[in-house]
Amino acid sequence: MTSGSKERKDPIRLGFMTAVEIGDGGFVGGLLVTDRFGRPLEFQCTTPVKPNRTQELLYGPTLVPFILGDLLGKALLDKVSVKPSLIMTSRVEMLQLRSKVNIPVIFDEAASESDSGSSSSGTAKSAEQQIRIGRQTFRTHEDFTGDRSTIEQIGRELSDDANMHEPLERVGDALRETMSTVTARPRVA
- Residue 120: CATH number of its domain: 3.30.2170.10
Domain membership flag for residue 6: no
Give the 3-state secondary structure of residue 151.
Answer: helix
Q: Is 57 inside any structural domain?
A: yes
Q: Is residue 155 part of a domain?
A: yes
SS (H, E, C) 9-74: CCCCCEEEEEEEEEHHHEEEEEEEEECCCCCEEEEEECCCECCCHHHHHHHHHHHHHHHHHHHHHH
**Domain contains 7:** no
Q: How far apart are CA 37 and CA 11, in angstroms?
A: 11
Range of the domain at 165: 14-184
Classify residue 2: in a domain, yes or no: no
Q: Cα–Cα distance between 80 and 33 in angstroms, integer?
A: 8
Residue 5 lies in a domain: no
> Given this model, what pLDDT does residue 4 score?
42
Query: Would 141 be classed as within a structural domain?
Result: yes
Total domains present in the chain: 1
* φ, ψ of residue 147 in degrees (nearest 5): -70, -15
Per-residue pLDDT of the chain (189 residues; tens, 9 = 90+): 334 444 556 799 999 999 999 887 899 999 999 999 999 999 999 999 999 999 999 999 999 999 999 999 999 999 999 999 999 999 999 999 999 999 999 999 876 554 444 444 444 556 778 999 988 999 999 999 889 999 999 999 998 889 999 999 999 999 999 888 765 444 333
Q: Helix, strand or coil for residue 155?
A: helix
Determine, yes or no, domain membership for 125. Answer: yes
Amino acid residing at 107: F
Going by the DSSP 8-state scheme, the letter that residue 97 receives in this structure is G
**Residue 125 confidence (pLDDT):** 56
